[in-house]
Amino acid sequence: MRTLRIGSRDSKLAVRQANIVKTAIEAVHHDTKVEIITMKTTGDIILNQSLDKIGGKGLFVKELDQALMEKRIDLSVHSLKDMPMDISEELPILAFTKREDPRDALIFKPGKNGISEGGVVGTSSRRRMIQLRRLYPKCVFKGIRGNVETRLKKLREQNFEGTVLAMAGLARLHMTEVAGRVFSTEEVVPAAGQGILAVQGRKGEDGFWKECIHCPESEIAALGERAFIRVLDGGCSSPIAAYGKVLGNELKLTGLYFRESDESFYIEHKVGSIEKAQQMGEQLAKEMQKKYE
C-alpha cells in the first residue's frame, strides 16, 4: 500500500472537495490509501475583516503551500477561484477537475422568496455586488464573510434578506435546494475558475493519480479565464470576471470588464480554437481595456 496525503482547509466544503479527489484516486488505484490532513488558513481565522484588506486570495493557500514545500503533504486541493493568478513554479497545478455548476445563486431568508425594496443582500464579493446591483437596483449590499454554513446562519439570524453563493459549493454539500434564484452565466458572470478544483503538487512529481481526476476541458477554460483576469487585474478586490465553455474544438470565452471611474461594466465574448485559450483570454482583455478604459 502506498499513502498519498492531501492537504485541505478545514471547512466542511474544503474537506468535501478533498474527499472528491480522494474517492476518485482510491476508486482507480486500489494500492493507494489517501489521507486528508486539514489545516486552518489565515483567511479562515481572520473573519472580521474583508479579504481585500488582509491580503486577498493567497491567504487561503499560503499554509498549504508551506506544507507542500516541507513535504508534510503530497497534494493540496483548492477551489480554483481562490487561487492567485500567479502560482509558484515549484508548486504547479497538476490537475483540474471536471467543472461543477459554475453559476451563482441568490439564497433568500428562510420563508421568503424575494428581496424587498431596501432589503439587505450579504456579499463581500465586488464581482457579485456590481452585477446584482443591476438586477436588484433597490436593494442594499453589505459585506458578509465566513464559510457556507456561517453565511447561511448569518442569513437566518441577522438583518439579511439574501446572500449569494456558488452553486458548485452548494452541490458539493448537497444543499442546492437552498438556492432561491440561480443566475445564468450571462446574468452574473462567474469568478474565473468557479466550480473547478485545482490539485496542486510539487514540481516534477506529477504522478500516477493525475489521469483519473484531470479534465482537459476544465484546464482549457481555466487557461482562458485566468489569462483574461491576469491581464486586467488591478488588485485582488477588482470585480472582473470570466467564464469559458468548451464546445467541441472551440472555446467560448466571456469576459467582464469593470471601469473604476464610473463603476460601469461591460460583458463581451470571444470564440476560438481551444489551442489558443490563453491568447484568447489575453486578447479579449486587451481589446476590452482599449475600448472601455
Residues of this chain that interact with ligand PBG (CB under 6 A) are 79, 81-82, 148, 165-166, 168-169, 194-195
How do 2-9 and 75-79 pair as beta strands?
parallel
**Residues 85, 56 contacting (CB under 8 angstroms):** no
Distance between CA atoms of 265 and 144, rounded to whole angstroms?
Answer: 23
Strand pairing of 120-122 and 162-166? parallel
- Whole-number minimum distance, CB 235 to ligand PBG, in Å? 17
Per the DSSP assignment, residues forming a β-bridge with 200 are 76, 93
Q: Is 101 noted as a catalytic residue in this protein? A: no
Q: How far apart are CA 24 and CA 276, in angstroms?
A: 30
Integer-rounded Cα radius of gyration of the chain: 19
Q: Which of 74, 82, 101, 104 is catalytic?
A: 82
Give least dist CB 77 to ligand PBG, A: 11
- Which of 9, 270 has the CB closer to ligand PBG? 9
* CA dist., res. 284 & res. 273, Å (int): 14
Give whichever of 25 and 165 is closer to ligand PBG, judged by the CB atom: 165
CA within 13 Å, CB half, 128: 22
Q: State how far the Cα of 172 lies from the Cα of 149, in Å rounded to an integer.
A: 13
Give the nearer residue to ligand PBG in terms of CB position, either 124 or 283: 124
CB nearer to ligand PBG: give 94 or 288: 94
Smallest separation, CB 84 to ligand PBG (Å): 13
- In angstroms, what is the minimal distance from the CB of 9 to ligand PBG? 10
Residue 89 amino acid letter: E
In the complex, least distance from residue 193 CB atom to ligand PBG, rounded to whole angstroms = 7
Minimum distance, C-beta of residue 25 to ligand PBG, in the bound complex (Å): 19
* 40 φ/ψ angles, rounded to the nearest 5 degrees: -80, 135
d(CA 44, CA 15): 14
Cβ-based nearer residue to ligand PBG, 125 or 283:
125
**Contact present, 212 and 24 (Cβ < 8 Å):** yes
Tell me, what DSSP letter sits at residue 225? H
- Find cell 499554509 and name the residue: 63
Q: Which is nearer to ligand PBG, 109 or 288 (CB)?
A: 109
Residue positions annotated with a catalytic role: 82
